Amino acid sequence: MVWRKLGLTTTTIRRKNSKVNVVISLLLVLICSLMFDLFSGGDARRRSYGFVDGKSDGGVGVVFWMTGGGVGGGSGGGYGYGSQSNAGIAIAVTVMAGLAVAATLVYSNRGHLQSPWSRKRRKHAVQPKQWRSLFDEDGRLCDGGVKFLKKVRSGGVHPSLRAEVWTFLLGVYDLKSSKEERDAVKTKNRKEYEKLRKQCQETYKLREKTTEINKICESDSKDDCTDGGEVIDQSSPENQTDSVKLDEVGDGNEIACKSESESSDSDSSEECDGTGPEKTTQESDTTSSNTEGKTINPHKSESFATWQRIIRLDAIRANDEWIVYTPSQAAVDSAKAHELAESVCLKDYTHLEACRIFHAARLVSILEAYALYDSEIGYCQGMSDLLSPIISVVEDDSEAFWCFVGFMKKARHNFRLDEVGIRRQLNIVSKIIKGKDSHLYRHLEEMQAEDCFFVYRMVVVLFRRELNFEQTLCLWEVMWADQTAIRAGITKSGWGKMRLRAPPTDDLLLYAIAACVLQRRKQIIEKYSSMDEILRECNSMAGHLDVWKLLDDAHDLVVTLHDKI
């Protein structure tokens, strides 16, 4: 388009329009004050308003409004127009006001040069009253959830509703489900989560036995303990149960050694072929029924033990930014926090306050269960950053777990050992930048940074460390709304005019990351000459980003480039 060829971005146009509107607004204020003076019965000479005739022959000249009294005419006679009929002046003022209003309308209608998302940076978040009005008498979302997703997409969710709304956004409950159907799903999910937690508890018991064996071996001579592994009687029913549970954990070491050719980064294969994490628990059930009498596989116990150790370290180090947003969890009783910590074998937490101990214990409980549920991924550092906001909002562990499972259906590819998912996303960010700003892209090429590796952290933990807690939730909610719309097939029908603006996309996060880089194009081009310098700039963005401006620019990119990427 013309304005893009001239280098006029939507941000530049918006800035210019705002300056013009300020000038017009000031003009309207002056006109209104003059009209007030005239129609309130005031006299221009008495109020020091003078109108000057610029011609000596008494003809009508250019009219000027000024302060300081009357000014003499060309023949030397001092006179003023303040005593003239107010009707004539009113007509002139009305014409001027009309022109000013027309100019304002002209500039305000230049919105077709902007992204439809840039006219208002944020609408109101979904409020409790609005949320209740979206359901019919059976507890189903009206119109299949279209209106609901539009509201979330444009303004996010009120904090008091998040725990309930997120179960829909993250696929725990279907958009078309009734209240009765959701209750049934909730009961089923709770039982499955409890089963996973029971398996985790079995690993605690086994570890205690192993620890006791090691202590005995250390205290006895080598002759008395030539084969410590046989201290456990594998033929006993109790220890057969332990071995079955460890088999259910999954062979993490075998997974870690899989070649890239054996892995797939296709979302469609996960959802359509049934090879995603949903199948893991079913396979676990089958495995447990076919492994009676098997001995403990040392590789399996070792891999899960490694995940457990890292989970505990990350849980203890989790920040406390969430505390001010979750008063109920911040006020947890100390005895309750310590009880939960003991139940998950959390250690080295005495330096933490009660609410942080409770939070860390919940992280351990849910992350361990997820490592069993999706044994292909297990646990990687960074996953606790994604779970922490969820358990801060969702207080029920079972629902928080299933929300996390829904979140990880897309995010799990960020934690694959082959990093295929990460490379794919970095490639998309690179394409967006290239399609939007070829000058910036050429500069990145000169620095050998066109692969956009400097936004690696943003991709892996979804802006969690660049945005504060509330901003993170706002970004995620809008992103989840897009993904939910696509999952429900709403983009193909029923989306209406919204589809003509910024269509829902699975890659909204990547457009936001590209927008973040483009916002700093001038600095990057003029000041930075290496990828390390850009990396430092990206790392310093934390706490300095406006999430709604970021989403505004991201949607602008979607409008422009969605069909090309």
What is the secondary structure of 396-421 as a DSSP string?
A: SHHHHHHHHHHHHHHHGGGG-TT-HH
Largest CA distance in the chain: 130
Interval 135-151 mean pLDDT: 92
Task: Tell me: pLDDT of 105 over 70.
Answer: no
- Which architecture does CATH list for 299-412? Orthogonal Bundle (1.10)
Contacts of 131 (CB under 8 A, 6+ apart): 158, 161, 164, 165
Interval 275-294 mean pLDDT: 40
Interval 228-249 mean pLDDT: 41
Interval 317-339 mean pLDDT: 88
- Which architecture does CATH list for 418-562? Orthogonal Bundle (1.10)
Please give the pLDDT value at position 191.
97
Q: Which residues pair with residue 66 across a beta bridge?
A: 50
- Domain positions in the chain are 299-412, 418-562
Q: How confident is the model at residue 231 (pLDDT cuts 50, 70, 90)?
A: very low
Please give the pLDDT value at position 268.
37
Please give the pLDDT value at position 163.
95
Tokens of 26: 């000031």
Between residues 429 and 465, the one the model is more confident about: 429
Interval 93-103 mean pLDDT: 60
Please give the pLDDT value at position 19.
55
**Which H or E run includes 67?**
strand 66-67
Interval 257-278 mean pLDDT: 40
What is the secondary structure of 225-291 as a DSSP string?
A: GTTGGGSS-TTSHHHHHHHHHHHHH--HHHHHT--GGG----HHHHHHSS-STHHHHHHHHHHHHT-
**Which H or E run includes 133?**
helix 128-133
Q: How far is CA 16 from CA 9, 19, 50, 68, 254, in A?
A: 11, 5, 34, 35, 60
The most confident of the ranges 21-30, 80-89, 243-252, 298-307 is: 298-307
pTM exceeding 0.75: no
d(CA 387, CA 322): 12
Tokens of 435: 């399609």
- Could you tell me what percent of the chain has a pLDDT over 90? 46
d(CA 96, CA 267): 61
Torsion of CA 493, 498, 499, 500, to 10 degrees: 130
d(CA 28, CA 97): 7
Please give the pLDDT value at position 526.
92
Task: Answer whether 114's CB lies under 8 Å from 10's CB.
Answer: yes
Please give the pLDDT value at position 478.
95
Interval 484-509 mean pLDDT: 75
Interval 427-440 mean pLDDT: 96
Q: How confident is the model at residue 262 (pLDDT cuts 50, 70, 90)?
A: very low
Please give the pLDDT value at position 325.
82
Task: Answer whether 175's CB lies under 8 Å from 168's CB.
Answer: yes
Q: How confident is the model at residue 92 (pLDDT cuts 50, 70, 90)?
A: low
- Burial group, residue 317, by CB count within 10 angstroms (0-12, 13-18, 19+): exposed
Please give the pLDDT value at position 53.
41
**Which H or E run includes 554?**
helix 547-561
Contacts of 383 (CB under 8 A, 6+ apart): 367, 370, 408, 415
d(CA 149, CA 265): 27
Mean pLDDT for all residues in the chain: 74
Please give the pLDDT value at position 493.
53
Q: How far is CA 85 from CA 42, 44, 93, 207, 364, in A?
A: 12, 11, 13, 100, 84
d(CA 420, CA 415): 9
Interval 60-80 mean pLDDT: 41
Interval 328-337 mean pLDDT: 90
Q: Over the stretch 109-139, which tens digit does the pLDDT of each residue have?
A: 333 333 333 334 456 899 999 999 999 999 9
Interval 13-39 mean pLDDT: 55
d(CA 367, CA 379): 7
Rg for the chain, CA atoms, rounded = 33
Q: Over the stretch 194-219, which tens digit does the pLDDT of each residue have?
A: 999 999 999 888 877 776 666 666 66
